[in-house]
Structure 1
Amino acid sequence: MTSPFPQAGGAEQGENRREAVVRLSGVHRHFGDTPAIDGVSLTVHKGEILGLIGRSGAGKSTLIRCLNGLERPDRGSIKIEGREITGLSEEQLQPLRRRIGMIFQHFNLLSAKTVEENVALPLKIEGWSTEKRLARAAELLDLVGLSGKARSYPSALSGGQKQRVGIARALAAGPALLLSDEATSALDPETTAAILELLKDINAKLGLTILLITHEMEVIRSIADRVAVIDAGRIVEEGPVWSVFANPRTAITQSLLSGIRPHLPQHVAARLVSEPVGEVVLGVDLSGPDAGVLLAGLSGALAGGFRLIHGGVEHIQQQSVARFFLGIPPASDGPARAVAYLERHGAKVEVLGHVPGHD
């Protein structure tokens, strides 16, 4: 049977970068009176890695199930490679599901089958010959770095190796879209980094579109091109990863970022007062080319100097993103001059309070 879905190809990635592989418009899904998905509109472009992040219960799992047809939305539109899927029958959904690969948190490997049999299983279901499916499994195991484990069983593998098998199996039928559902949350940090690097490599080599579902901002920072934040079934923030990290607009995004962004040290925060006594403490956020040289310029602008309490510059998607906490002597107009200088250079500045004893 010829698939009604166009075939993906890595060579076309450049010219088709903005082509939509997934397009959701006004999607709703309720369970009783509870809205699991509440008017979600979201586009995943061909060849990109989009990170969808939210806390447990935010609606991530329901959204995935709507994408692969396991849940039917109450209303709204879901298009995969340009085809509306919400009204398809179970039989009509089968070609769609072959276009979507899935990797899971707990691997979902069959313990009684070898690694190569696990990878080849989707192809066996599709009716491929033994010779062809084992050849395809060998090709994919080489891609994920497990060519020597073809005859091993899952029980003999580490967690990272099991996830590599899961990735190879998800790629078996040549999908247009790879859904990664918390695929690294059961792994240690070193293994997580290796798996994310593998996904980036696969994205680059195959031009594969990846929708990465996670609750970890560190994962988003490591691999995603764009991020969408979901909360209570709604997309509350969306944009390039560097931009969202530099200027998180919503409370939920700020909370999700709190574990990996610099904080005002506790011993300083404990001494902050609102009364205008002592050193003025500023929180400063800045992105772009000025981020790395901002403080040098500030030194020249302030006769009384300043104190760098905490912070630094990191590079996300080749963009400089800075977060600093500065102490400004209260004498004369130093604090006002500092704020004016920082804002003139595009910084977002917040006066956090005063620290007595630093005057």
Structure 2
Amino acid sequence: MNVQPLHIDAAGPGPDAAAAAAAGPPVVELAGVSKRFGQRAALDEVTLTVRRGEVLGIIGRSGAGKSTLIRCLNGLERPDAGEVRIEGRAISRLSERELQPMRRRIGMIFQHFNLLANSTAAENVALPLKIAGIAKAERMRRAGELLDLVGLSDRGGAYPAQLSGGQKQRVGIARALAAEPALLLSDEATSALDPETTGQILELLRDINRRLGLTVALVTHEMEVVREIASRVVVLENGHVAEEGEVCRVFADPQAPITATLLRSLRPELPADLAARLTSTLGGEAVFRLDLVGEAARAPLLAELAGRFGAEARLLHGGIETIQGRPVARLFVAVRPSPAADLAAIAAFLASRATRSDLLGHVSSAS
């Protein structure tokens, strides 16, 4: 194994390089992968692709199949049906000996760090290189470079007991990068950390992806982690892919009920006191729920309603956030139609502007 010096482009990969990578062969391909444990289908004909340089979020409830999927990706589980390919090579039928060099192409970050207590941070980082037979001087040089990359250049001689949780995870990330992997797998890597430290680790992973062009697959049950770092998301439910797409699109317009459920804590909902006053009886103000993405999320929608229809409109609740550089909004709007414009015309206008528009009901006097 030849370990090259760590070269980092501080500006990150250029657009031409990124476009070339996106057009190139995928790092990961799963084709109809199924895995059963007794009568339970942990994975049910899962098909997905991860492109070079992509950050893919894999999310689902406990028992959805996330852990089995990640074990199939690193060869610890063999599927009962279907094929797993890493950099174009099918790994499902490889012997344990043949799998070893393939596993060196896959870095793993674990929830509970999995550091050796009696080894220093630098020794932990260098461990994959020691197993690969790299000379001590070379592997310690590489460990020093990687500790510097993750912001721990002064902690190489510290033992895990002397490190905070966030520092331990940084060591784990550096170790996962030691063998220059093509794919970095993160298995619930932030779920044992506090919110502030989680944010720091996600920022580090985002920076590594940008600066090294590394492909990352994150397995998590936290939708906020996907929102912060992933470019695309796969939602698992009962072992099958319930939904897949760009994070921005999925957050703006979830198609599967499980996705809407997972997003519930992150998306504004109509306050309970207003929801309790909704009725199907026509009259008063009509209350709409609007999901908008891109320029539509920042458009002067209420002014347009007033100007086009002469309708009184006001914002009841909601918010706008930026995902993947694009604004995504969920707004609750109360509209009182004018005599010159009926509710159907207003509803059609809102539907033309929003990714999703729902008339929730009517209130005699919303407040």
Distance (Å, rounded) in 1 between the aligned partners of 2:196 and 2:302:
34
- Which residue of 1 is the match for residue 21 of structure 2? 16
Note the 1:140-289 alignment, pairs <5 A. 140-289=146-295
SS at match of 1:229: strand
**1:47 and 2:50 aligned:** no
Q: Retained in 2: the 8 A contact 1:329–1:358?
A: no
Superposed CA RMSD in Å reads 1.9
* TM-score normalised by length of structure 1: 0.94
- Which residue of 2 is the match for residue 305 of structure 1? 312
Q: Retained in 2: the 8 A contact 1:229–1:237?
A: yes
Residue deviations 1:2-59 (CA, integer Å, cap 9, x gap): 99xxxxx997554122320000000000011110000000000001101111111000
* TM-score normalised by length of structure 2: 0.92
- Cα displacement (A) at 1:75: 0.6
- Which residue of 2 is the match for residue 345 of structure 1? 353
Distance (Å, rounded) in 2 between the aligned partners of 1:50 and 1:35:
23
Distance (Å, rounded) in 1 between the aligned partners of 2:59 and 2:276:
31
- Cα–Cα, structure 1 residues 2 and 174, in superposed 2: closer, same or farther, change >3 Å? closer
Determine which of 71, 75, 92 is the counterpart of 1:69: 75
SS at match of 1:301: helix
- Which residue of 1 is the match for residue 325 of structure 2? 318
Distance (Å, rounded) in 2 between the aligned partners of 1:100 and 1:246:
32
Distance (Å, rounded) in 1 between the aligned partners of 2:205 and 2:136:
27
SS at match of 2:142: helix
- Cα–Cα, structure 1 residues 93 and 13, in superposed 2: closer, same or farther, change >3 Å? farther
Distance (Å, rounded) in 2 between the aligned partners of 1:334 and 1:105:
55
SS at match of 1:17: helix
SS at match of 2:270: coil
Matched positions, count: 354
SS at match of 1:185: coil
Residue deviations 1:256-278 (CA, integer Å, cap 9, x gap): 11111111112111222223343
Residue deviations 1:69-96 (CA, integer Å, cap 9, x gap): 1111001011000001111000000011
Distance (Å, rounded) in 2 between the aligned partners of 1:71 and 1:13:
32
Structure 2 unaligned segments of length 5 or more: list them. Answer: 4-8
Q: Retained in 2: the 8 A contact 1:328–1:334?
A: no
Q: Percent identity?
A: 58
Distance (Å, rounded) in 1 between the aligned partners of 2:264 and 2:44:
26
Distance (Å, rounded) in 1 between the aligned partners of 2:121 and 2:60:
32
SS at match of 2:128: helix
Distance (Å, rounded) in 2 between the aligned partners of 1:302 and 1:218:
38
Q: Retained in 2: the 8 A contact 1:101–1:177?
A: yes
Distance (Å, rounded) in 1 between the aligned partners of 2:258 and 2:163:
37
Distance (Å, rounded) in 2 between the aligned partners of 1:45 and 1:140:
24
